[in-house]
């Protein structure tokens, strides 16, 4: 890992306006991403976990410039890419790519596998004619598919195979950095492991860096070197994998980890269960102060008034929580 | 005697490419008050099994053969109106997506009350009282107010809890829950599972819990039924099966999971190959094309082996001690 992070995001915000009435008057904002900062070092995999609606996909799309940010800066390879031109954005796509969750919806059903995988090569003028064909076959092999698949259509493939096609397409331009947005969530358990192993192998072989988005904490633990926990558009805790899973500090991270059912009936009843009460509030009107306070078993008066700031508790383990700050959680 | 006994159930669907057998000769039984988990990959026939029990299979589907003996009577022999009485009153079902089974133009309270009036013959006021009581039981805050909310005013977790309230409002003997928490976040899932466990202890209903999450099974079910390609491949006490799976698919499934209690860097051991295609099923063991232990005999239809203690496995080699999956590759 070099000193300079490959990706550095500072105070990133994305508000979606909510319009209502016949005149479509702007009545509120969905604060999908509400001041998020993190960095990803070269060769690292940063896992981004959070429940539905916490803003994971939005962050991925902002980083890739598929969506304009409301405010904040994004630096990639040391360069501020927050306000670059569309030509520069296209150039950037050669360095950053995305793999989507839905292996069914993300491939054009009317294109053959060969056309899908070679399209980025054509768009970026990377290879022509025979060379392009050869490169396409090479990409298919890389993800465990064969040249005999070239002329077939997505509907002839299973979910796991389609996800491989999506990965081959993302790799076509030889990117440095890939946002993986729930790449295995739609797959059967028996196939998930195939795709996770493939992503790991490719990371080793091609020196890739991942931002790995998932709501599955077991999967994130397996693949990430560092993990960030997101709640209602805010990062609550970031730490190295070991620290986050063995010594989680933020009450939300603790509850999240305790809520995962462990596939071992012999362990039942031995685990301590922190059952969170209440539902996740909406991102349109996040609670005051710490946005977790209505559900937090540790909440005290300061929590509903003042928003806690991210603080380093040592070794790059960052937590935003008043109870951690004043030492009642350690 | 078992509360539910499914024998040799076969359910097919006519499709453009020919007829597929979604459930292929399935047999299992469930005692009163027990929880059975059904696991298996997408398309293995879990939902079709539960819809068959409820007799909710419509064209192009058909229950070809078998018996579904519930409380001493074969449901497949009941007249439609008798079956309507069983549905909702004796057997209730909840689905993955509560929005598909809640009526968007009726309030939550009206929907629960309707079920109660229909099946328990309560009057208007009593039914509303019961609805509020049920909402309180599933921990909807201020139920006397929320009873007049419409489904869209509830969050996903609240809707699923309302569905549970509705399903349990008639004290069914059997509750079939098809992926009841799959669409929910883990912290909400934990609440719903806890609630189901608690209500079961209270009412004594038997539960069939369909899920693809082995963790959920381990936490809630006494017995587990593993399905593959439309049939049972392993069945028995969950503790026993998780500790000592005998069928290579079950072994592979458990070995392929990233687990929080495993070393973080341990390489995953995937099951090779693709899930079965019901249009092109192998002649013998459905898992054979992906199985590391396949031998010639596996291409012949596989009988169920009783391994003792209620543990069943459908595998020619389930009595042998096989090397752990992955080691043989
Ligand atoms: N285009 C949009 N317009 C308005 N609101 C949006 C838009 N895209 C996302 N949102 C809202 O922003 C919030 C964050 O959404 P996002 O898709 O980033 O969540 P997520 O963490 O990826 O969730 P999931 O796990 O369900 O995929 C949600 O409240 C969502 O409804
Ligand atoms: N209405 C239908 N018409 C045609 N085929 C159907 C129909 N319903 C189910 N099937 C087929 O029956 C098989 C079993 O489906 P089922 O829904 O039981 O799977 P499942 O195990 O519940 O999967 P999942 O985990 O995806 O819910 C599948 O191959 C499916 O395509
Ligand atoms: S700041 Fe307060 S409410 Fe928020 S997580 Fe910490 S203790 Fe809980
Ligand atoms: S019957 Fe044969 S192919 Fe099927 S699981 Fe057993 S060993 Fe494998
Ligand atoms: Mg998302
Ligand atoms: Mg199903």
Residue-wise pLDDT for A163-184, tens only, equals 899 999 999 999 999 999 999 9
Interface touch A263/B214, C-beta < 8 Å: yes
Query: What integer pLDDT is reported at residue A269 of this predicted model?
Result: 60
Pocket test for ligand 3, best of A236, A255, A276, A292 (most atoms within 8 A of CB): A292
List, as ranges, residues 249-288 from B with C-beta within 8 Å of A. Answer: 249, 252-254, 256-261, 264, 267-272, 274-275
Running DSSP on this structure, what letter comes out for residue A248? -
Indicate the pLDDT class of residue B266, thresholds 50, 70 and 90: confident
What tens digit of pLDDT does each residue of A183-227 get?
Answer: 998 888 888 999 999 999 999 999 999 999 999 999 999 999 999
Query: What integer pLDDT is reported at residue A239 of this predicted model?
Result: 98
The ipTM (two decimal places) reads: 0.86
- Assign B222 to helix, strand or coil: coil
Interface touch A190/B188, C-beta < 8 Å: no
Closest partner residue to B218 (CB to CB) among A159, A264, A277 is: A264
Token couple for A276: 């969170």
Indicate the pLDDT class of residue B312, thresholds 50, 70 and 90: very high
How long is chain B? 329
How long is chain A? 330
Closest by CA position to B210, among listed B7, B47, B4, B48: B47
List Cα–Cα distances, A120 to A126, A132, A175, A202, B264, in angstroms: 8, 10, 11, 19, 35
Q: Give percent of chain A above pLDDT 90.
A: 69
Q: Name the phi and psi angles at A118, rounded to 5.
A: -85, -10
CB-side neighbour CA atoms (13 Å) of B267 = 11
Q: Give percent of chain A above pLDDT 70.
A: 97
CA angle A78, A235, A244 (to 5 degrees): 95
Ligand nearest the Cα atom of residue A290 = 3
Residue tagged 């004619």 (tokens): A129
Name the residue of chain B whose CA is nearest to A295's CA. B187
Distance, C-alpha A115 to centroid of its chain = 27
Closest partner residue to A262 (CB to CB) among B189, B249, B260 is: B260
- Most confidently modeled range among A90-94, A232-236, A277-281: A232-236
List, as ranges, residues 197-216 from A with C-beta within 8 Å of B. Answer: 197, 200, 215
CA angle B237, B51, B104 (to 5 degrees): 120
Chain A interface includes B193 (CB < 8 A): yes
Chain B interface includes A163 (CB < 8 A): no
Query: What integer pLDDT is reported at residue B212 of this predicted model?
Result: 87
Residue tagged 């079965």 (tokens): B276
Closest by CA position to A46, among listed A232, A163, A220, A250: A220
CB atoms near residue B296 (< 10 Å):
8
How far is it, in rounded angstroms, from Cα A184 to Cα A160? 8
How far is it, in rounded angstroms, from Cα A70 to Cα B107? 38
Average pLDDT over residues B77-83: 95
Distance of CA A57 from the midpoint of ligand 1 (Å): 7
Chain A interface includes B310 (CB < 8 A): no
CA dihedral A93, A94, A96, A99 (to 10 degrees): 80
How far is it, in rounded angstroms, from Cα B51 to Cα B47? 6
How far is it, in rounded angstroms, from Cα A193 to Cα A141? 18
CB-side neighbour CA atoms (13 Å) of A293 = 19
Query: What integer pLDDT is reported at residue A274 of this predicted model?
Result: 63
List Cα–Cα distances, B41 to B57, B209, B283, in angstroms: 20, 14, 20
Closest by CA position to B252, among listed B238, B237, B271: B271
Ligand nearest the Cα atom of residue B249 = 4
CB atoms near residue A192 (< 10 Å):
25
Angle between helices A159-171 and A113-123 in degrees, nearest 10: 20
Query: What integer pLDDT is reported at residue A297 of this predicted model?
Result: 93
* Range in A230-244, B52-66, B181-195 with the lowest mean pLDDT: B181-195
Distance, C-alpha A287 to centroid of its chain = 24
Strands (E), B238-323: 305-306, 312-313
Mutation target to probe the A interface, by most A beta carbons within 10 A, among B41, B260, B262, B290 is: B260
Residues of B in contact with A258 (CB under 8 A): 190
Query: What integer pLDDT is reported at residue A272 of this predicted model?
Result: 55
- Is the pLDDT reported for residue A146 higher than 60? yes
- Is the pLDDT reported for residue B328 higher than 60? no
List Cα–Cα distances, A161 to A167, A195, A204, B243, B281, in angstroms: 10, 9, 21, 31, 19
Average pLDDT over residues A120-138: 92
Specify the higher pLDDT residue, B191 or B148.
Answer: B148
Average pLDDT over residues A36-49: 96
Indicate the pLDDT class of residue A25, thresholds 50, 70 and 90: confident
Specify the higher pLDDT residue, B198 or B285.
Answer: B285
Token couple for A143: 């993800």
Chain A interface includes B243 (CB < 8 A): yes
Closest partner residue to B264 (CB to CB) among A200, A241, A255 is: A241
Query: By the 8 A CB rule, do B80 and B122 touch?
Result: no
Closest ligand 4 atom, residue B322 Cα: 7
C-beta of A292 in contact with ligand 3 (< 6 A): yes
Q: Prior bond to A84 cis, omega within 30?
A: no
Token couple for B98: 């509560």
- Assign A93 to helix, strand or coil: coil
List, as ranges, residues 85-114 from B with C-beta within 8 Å of A. Answer: none
Query: What integer pLDDT is reported at residue A1 of this predicted model?
Result: 46
Query: What integer pLDDT is reported at residue A273 of this predicted model?
Result: 59
Angle between helices A129-142 and A113-123 in degrees, nearest 10: 120
What tens digit of pLDDT does each residue of A245-272 get?
Answer: 999 999 999 999 998 888 888 776 655 5
Q: Whose CA is nearest to atom 28 of ligand 1?
A: A53
Ligand nearest the Cα atom of residue B301 = 4
How far is it, in rounded angstroms, from Cα A66 to Cα A62? 6
Interface touch B264/A245, C-beta < 8 Å: yes
Closest by CA position to A233, among listed A4, A20, A26, A70: A70
Angle between helices B124-137 and B156-168 in degrees, nearest 10: 130
C-beta of B278 in contact with ligand 2 (< 6 A): yes
Residue spans of alpha helices (H) in A143-264: 159-171, 189-206, 217-223, 241-246, 251-259
Cβ within 8 Å of residue B237, ≥6 positions away: B222, B223, B224, B309, B310, B311
Average pLDDT, chain A: 91
How far is it, in rounded angstroms, from Cα A176 to Cα B192? 42
List, as ranges, residues 255-284 from A with C-beta within 8 Å of B. Answer: 255-268, 273, 275-277, 279-280
């Amino acid at each position: 890992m070099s000193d300079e992070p490959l990706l550095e995001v500072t105070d990133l915000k994305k508000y979606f306006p909510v319009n209502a009435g016949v005149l479509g008057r702007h009545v509120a904002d969905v604060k999908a991403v509400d001041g998020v900062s993190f960095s990803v070092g070269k060769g690292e995999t940063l896992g981004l976990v959070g429940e539905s609606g916490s803003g994971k996909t939005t962050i991925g799309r902002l980083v890739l410039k598929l969506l304009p940010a409301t405010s904040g800066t994004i630096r990639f390879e040391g360069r501020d890419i927050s306000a670059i031109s569309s030509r520069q954005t296209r150039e950037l796509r050669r360095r950053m790519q995305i793999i989507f969750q839905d292996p069914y919806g993300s491939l054009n059903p009317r294109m053959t596998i060969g056309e899908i995988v070679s399209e980025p090569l054509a768009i970026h003028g990377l290879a022509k004619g025979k060379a392009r064909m050869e490169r396409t076959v090479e990409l298919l092999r890389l993800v465990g598919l064969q040249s005999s698949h070239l002329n077939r259509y997505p509907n002839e493939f299973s979910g796991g195979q389609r996800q491989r096609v999506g990965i081959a397409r993302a790799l076509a331009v030889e990117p440095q950095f890939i946002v993986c947005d729930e790449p295995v969530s739609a797959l059967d358990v028996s196939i998930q492991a195939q795709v996770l192993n493939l992503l790991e192998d490719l990371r080793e072989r091609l020196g890739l860096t991942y931002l790995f988005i998932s709501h599955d904490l077991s999967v994130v633990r397996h693949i990430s070197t560092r993990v960030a926990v997101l709640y209602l558009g805010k990062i609550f805790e970031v730490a190295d994998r070991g620290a986050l899973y063995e010594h989680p500090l933020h009450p939300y991270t603790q509850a999240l980890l305790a809520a995962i059912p462990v596939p071992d009936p012999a362990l039942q009843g031995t685990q301590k269960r922190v059952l969170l009460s209440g539902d996740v509030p909406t991102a349109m009107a996040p609670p005051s102060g710490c946005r977790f306070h209505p559900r937090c078993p540790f909440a005290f008066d300061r929590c509903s008034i003042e928003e806690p700031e991210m603080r380093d508790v040592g070794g790059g383990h960052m937590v935003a929580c008043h109870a951690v700050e004043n030492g009642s959680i350690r | 005697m078992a509360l539910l006994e499914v024998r040799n159930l076969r359910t097919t669907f006519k499709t453009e490419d020919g007829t597929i057998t979604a459930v292929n000769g399935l047999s299992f039984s469930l005692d009163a008050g027990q929880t059975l988990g059904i696991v298996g990959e997408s398309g293995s026939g879990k939902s079709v099994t539960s819809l068959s029990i409820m007799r909710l299979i419509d064209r192009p589907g058909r229950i070809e053969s078998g018996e579904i003996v519930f409380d001493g009577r074969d449901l497949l022999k009941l007249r439609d109106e008798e079956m309507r009485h069983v549905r909702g009153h004796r057997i209730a079902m909840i689905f993955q997506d509560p929005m598909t089974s809640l009526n968007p133009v009726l309030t939550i309270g009206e929907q629960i009350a309707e079920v109660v009036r229909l099946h328990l013959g309560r009057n208007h006021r009593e039914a509303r009282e019961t609805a509020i009581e049920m909402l309180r039981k599933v921990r909807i805050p201020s139920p006397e107010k929320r009873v007049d909310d419409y489904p869209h005013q509830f969050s996903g977790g609240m809707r699923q809890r309302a569905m549970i309230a509705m399903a349990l409002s008639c004290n069914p003997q059997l509750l079939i829950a098809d992926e009841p928490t799959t669409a929910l976040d883990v912290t909400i899932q934990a609440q719903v599972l806890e609630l189901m466990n608690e209500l079961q202890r209270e009412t004594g209903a038997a539960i069939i819990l369909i899920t693809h999450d082995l963790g959920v099974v381990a936490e809630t079910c006494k017995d587990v039924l593993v399905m593959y390609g439309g049939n049972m491949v392993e069945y028995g006490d969950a503790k026993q099966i998780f500790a000592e799976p005998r069928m290579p698919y079950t072994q592979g499934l458990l070995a392929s999971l990233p687990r929080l209690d495993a070393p973080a860097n341990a390489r995953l051991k995937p099951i090779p190959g693709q899930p079965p295609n019901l249009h092109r099923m192998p002649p013998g063991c459905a898992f054979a094309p992906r199985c590391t232990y396949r031998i010639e005999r596996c291409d012949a239809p596989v009988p169920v082996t009783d391994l003792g203690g209620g543990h069943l496995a459908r595998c020619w080699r389930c009595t042998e001690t096989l090397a752990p999956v992955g080691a043989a590759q």
